[in-house]
A and B are shown apart, each in its own frame.
Chain A
C-alpha cells in the first residue's frame, strides 16, 4: 500500500466535460468552476476542448469560446492549483497552439496519443521541456494494448523528457485486474510518476482508480460529478472521499471538493453523464466514450441502432480522431439487408 506517498489529483472537469457539453462551456462557467477547484485543492485543473488544444473544428465539434480566452480566464482564478491542457499532436501545433498556451500561463502540458503511437509526441514533449514547463505523456485508449507494449511506449515518452505518464481508459473498458497489471508494470519500471484516468462506462471508475493507486500510481484523474465524455469519469468528490478514507496523502479539502461537485451540478445541469445502454455498449466494445454523441446523431439520422454502431466500431478498433468512420459505419449498417 502506498498511502504515505503524496497523490497528485488532476481535475479534468473543464476539459473532459467539454465532450459532454458539446464544447459549449462559457467563460463564466470556467471562472466559477476554476475558483471552486482551487478551493478544493486539486493539484491541476485541465481546461479546453475535449480533444485538447487546437481541436475545435467541424469534425470533432467547435468550441464556443476560443481556447486562449478559456485558459486566461481559468489562470486568473488559480493560485495553488496549476493549469493544465490536453494536447494531441496533429490537432495542436507547436508554433500556434502550444506557444499560445505557454503565453497564457499553462503550467502542465499533457501530450496524448493513441496508446501505440508515442513516437508522435517527441517534438511536442521536447519543445515544452525546452520552454521550461512541465510535460507529461498520456496514452489514450490504453485498453487496446498489452502491458508490455504500454511499457515500451511510455519508456519512449520518458526518454523524450516526459515528467509523468497517464494511462487513459478512454473507452471505460478496464476492469481492476487490467489496471493492476498495466499500471503495476509501469509503476515498477518507469522512473517518472504514473497516473490513471478512468471512465465510468462499466461503473468501475472509482474501483479502477483505487486499483491504480494500489498498483503504484501516484497521479489520479477525475472530474466533478464525473462530468466527462460518455458515461463520464471518476467523480472527484467520490475520489476525494475514498482517498481520505483510505488514508492517501493529498492536497484535497473534502468539503470544498463536495462543494465543487455541487457547483458543477448547477453549472452543467442537464449535461451531467448518465449511464445508459449506449455508454455501457461503448465500454463493452472498447470504443472511445467521446463517440457517444456523434454515434447517437448518426444512428438517428440513418435509422440504425446506436449500439450496433458501437459494436461495429469496436470490431474495427477505431480510435479518437476517426470520428468520420461513424457515419460510414452507420451507413453500412443502414444499407445492410435486414435478417428476415
Chain B
C-alpha cells in the first residue's frame, strides 16, 4: 500500500513541477468537489495535498460523495488531512454549499456502464437532476468565481471514422429514443441546464468534456477496454477483443487529467467548453499488446470474437483550445501511463 501511495505522490509532484503557477489563483481557496471519491476526485485531492505540502497553497477541499466515509477510512493519507472535509450524501438531494466556497467542481455522476443498462432512469436522475440541484445551490452563493462542470466526450455522438479528432464544435448523431444514449443525453442535459444558469444568473460555468483516461485509483472492475485488458492480464489472459481491434480511442493519464481540471478551475473561460483527453490515438489491438508486454508469460490476445460489423468506432479529442486557453499539455505518454497503472495495481495487490 505504501508503495502504491508513494507512486501516486511522485506522479502528482511531477505534474505540478513547474506548472503550479498556473493555479496561483487558488491559493487559500475553499474548493467544493462533488463526486469527490471517484478516480478524478481522488487525484484532485492528491494534487491539492502536494500543492499544500510542497507549494504552500493553503487550500481546503470539501469532497461530497455517497461513499465519503468509507473512502476516508480506506485512504487515510487523504482522509485524515485537516484541510479535507468529507461530506456524505446523494447529489440528487443536494441543498447547500458551504458559504465560503468560491470554486466548485461538479464531477458527481453515474458513469458505470453496467448501471447505464440496468438503471438508466437513475443515471438520468443523478446526472441531470443532480446537476440542477448543485447549480441551484451555487446560485445561492454570493461570490462564486468558477463552476466547473464535468460533462463527457460522449456528448458528441458518433465520431466519423475518417475524422482524426473532434473539436468542441463537432456534433455527431445521437439517438435520443434509444436507452443506450441515456448517459450521453444526461450529460447533454447537464450541459444545457448549466448554460441556462449562465444565461439566467451569470453563473461562471466552464464545461469540460473528458475522454478516456487511465491510472491509479481506477477500478479494474469497470468494464472499459483498458481496465478489461489490464485485469485479464493480471489473471493470465486471454484478452478477448470482440472486433478486429481497430477501434480507436485515446487515453490520458490520471495525473494530467486532474491537473487539467484544476487548470480549468483557475484558467478556464466562463461560458466556454473544453475537451480534456489525450490527442494520441491508439487502436485496441495495439493497446492490448502494450499492456500484455508488461506481463510474463505474455497473455494471449484473441480478436474477432464478436458479431461482424460492430467493431470499429473512433473517439479522439482535439485539445488545441484547452492548450491555448489554459496553458496545459499532456505530460505522461501513453506507454508510461499504462506502465504506471500496472505497477500501481501490482503494488496494491501485493499490499
Q: Which residues of A contact B (CB under 8 A)?
A: 5, 118-119, 122, 126, 129-134, 152, 155-156, 158-161, 163, 187-194, 216, 218
Chain B stretch 277-311: residues in CB contact (< 8 A) with chain A: 305-311
Q: Can you list 30 pairs linking A and B with CB atoms under 8 Å apart?
A: A118-B118, A119-B118, A122-B118, A126-B114, A126-B223, A129-B228, A130-B221, A131-B235, A132-B232, A132-B234, A132-B237, A133-B235, A134-B240, A155-B117, A156-B117, A158-B117, A159-B116, A159-B118, A159-B223, A160-B117, A161-B223, A163-B240, A163-B242, A163-B305, A190-B306, A190-B310, A191-B242, A191-B311, A193-B307, A216-B308
Chain A neighbourhood of B118, CB < 8 A: 118-119, 122, 156, 159-160
For residue B179, CB closer than 8 A to chain A, the reply is: yes
Of the candidates A118, A122, A132, A152, which one forms a contact with B235 in the assembled complex, judged by CB atoms under 8 Å apart? Answer: A132
Does B220 count as interface, using CB distance less than 8 angstroms? yes
| A216–B307 alpha-carbon span in the complex (Å) | 8
**Interface status of B243 (Cβ within 8 A of chain A):** yes
Known: A132-B232, A193-B305. A122 touches B114 (CB 8 A): yes
In the complex, what residues of A have CB within 8 A of residue B242's CB?
163, 191-193
Q: Which residues of B contact A130 (CB under 8 A)?
A: 220-221, 231
Q: Which of B49-105 contact A (CB under 8 A)?
A: none
| B309: chain A residues within 8 A (beta carbon) | 188
A156 to B113, CA, bound (A): 9
Interface range for B: 20 to 34
Question: Can you add 20 more A-B contacts, CB < 8 Å, to A193-B307, A216-B308?
Answer: A119-B118, A126-B221, A129-B223, A129-B231, A132-B236, A133-B235, A155-B180, A156-B117, A156-B118, A159-B113, A159-B116, A159-B118, A160-B118, A160-B223, A161-B223, A191-B307, A191-B310, A191-B311, A192-B242, A193-B242
Interface of B is mostly: loop
Q: How far is the CA of A119 from the CA of B121 in the complex (A)?
A: 14
Q: Which residues of A contact B116 (CB under 8 A)?
A: 159
- Cα-based distance from A158 to B242 in the complex (angstroms): 11
What's the minimum C-beta distance from B67 to chain A, rounded to whole angstroms?
Answer: 18
The answer, among B221, B235, B240, B307, for a CB contact under 8 Å with A187, is B307
Decide if A160 touches B114 in the complex (CB within 8 Å).
yes
- B residues less than 8 Å from A133 (CB atoms): 235
Contact B114 A159 (CB under 8 A): yes
| Residues from chain A with Cβ under 8 Å of B220 in the complex | 130
What residue of chain A has the Cβ atom nearest to residue B119's Cβ? Answer: A119
Q: Which single residue of chain A is at the shortest CB-CB distance from B233?
A: A132
The interface residues of chain B lying within 8 Å CB-to-CB of A132 are 231-232, 234-237
The minimal Cβ–Cβ distance linking A191 to chain B, given in whole angstroms, is: 5
B47, chain A: closest CB distance, angstroms: 29
Q: How far is the CA of A23 from the CA of B251 in the complex (A)?
A: 51
Residue of A129, A131, A194 near B307 (CB, 8 A) is: A194
Cβ-defined contact, B306 with A192, below 8 A: yes
Q: Which residues of B contact A126 (CB under 8 A)?
A: 114, 221, 223
A100 to nearest B CB, angstroms? 18
What are the 5 tightest A-B residue pairs by CB atom distance, in nearest-first order? A132-B235, A159-B117, A156-B117, A161-B223, A191-B306
Proximity string of chain B (225-256) to chain A, C-beta cutoff 8 Å, 1 when within and 0 when not: 00010011011110010110000000000000
In the complex the two chains form, is B307's CB within 8 Å of A188's CB?
yes
- Smallest CB separation, A124 vs chain B (Å): 12
Interfacial residues of chain B within 163-219, with CB under 8 A of chain A in the complex: 179-180
Q: Is the CB of B236 within 8 A of A192?
A: no
* Known contacts A130-B220, A155-B180, A156-B118; A190 and B236 CB within 8 A of each other: no
Residues of chain A lying within 8 A (CB to CB) of residue B114? 122, 126, 159-161
Chain A: minimal CB distance from B237 (Å) = 8
Contacts of A118 in B (CB 8 A): 118
Chain A neighbourhood of B231, CB < 8 A: 129-130, 132
B residues 98-149 touching A (CB-CB < 8 Å): 113-114, 116-118
Complex alpha-carbon distance, A188 and B310, angstroms: 8
Question: Cα distance A190–B306 when bound, in Å?
Answer: 8
Q: Which residue of B lies closest to A133 (CB)?
A: B235
Give min CB distance, B229 to chain A, whole Å.
12
> Which residue of A has the minimal Cβ distance to B310?
A191
Within 8 Å CB of A155, what residues of B? 117, 180
Select from chain B the residue with minimum beta-carbon distance to A121: B118
Residues of the B chain whose Cβ atoms lie less than 8 Å from the Cβ of A152: 179
| A120→B58 CA distance, assembly (Å) | 48
Chain A: minimal CB distance from B99 (Å):
41
Interface string of B307-332 (1 = CB under 8 A from A): 11111000000000000000000000
CA distance A188 to B309 in the complex (A): 8
A152 to B118, CA, bound (A): 10
Complex-state Cα separation, A283 to B232, whole angstroms = 41
Asked if B243 and A191 sit within 8 Å, CB to CB, the answer is yes
Contact present for B117 and A190 (CB under 8 Å): no
| Chain A residues whose C-beta falls within 8 Å of the C-beta of B223 in the assembled complex | 126, 129, 159-161
Q: Are A193 and B306 in contact (CB under 8 A)?
A: yes
Query: Which residue of chain A lies nearest to B235 when distances are taken between CB atoms in the complex?
Result: A132
CA distance A158 to B234 in the complex (A): 22
Q: Verify B235–A218 contact, CB threshold 8 A.
A: no
Alpha-carbon separation in the docked complex, A131 to B237 (Å):
10
Assembly CA distance A129 to B282 (angstroms): 24
CA distance A131 to B228 in the complex (A): 11
**Closest chain A CB from B115 CB (angstroms):** 9
Let me know if A192 and B235 touch, CB within 8 A.
Answer: no
The complex places the Cα of A278 from the Cα of B113 at a distance, in Å, of 44
A152 to B308, CA, bound (A): 19
User: In the complex, what distance in Å separates the CA atom of A126 from the CA atom of B234?
Assistant: 16
Q: Give Cα distance in the complex from A235 to B308, angstroms.
A: 27
How far apart are the CA atoms of A220 and B310 in the complex, in Å?
A: 21
Nearest neighbor of A8 in chain B, beta-carbon distance:
B305
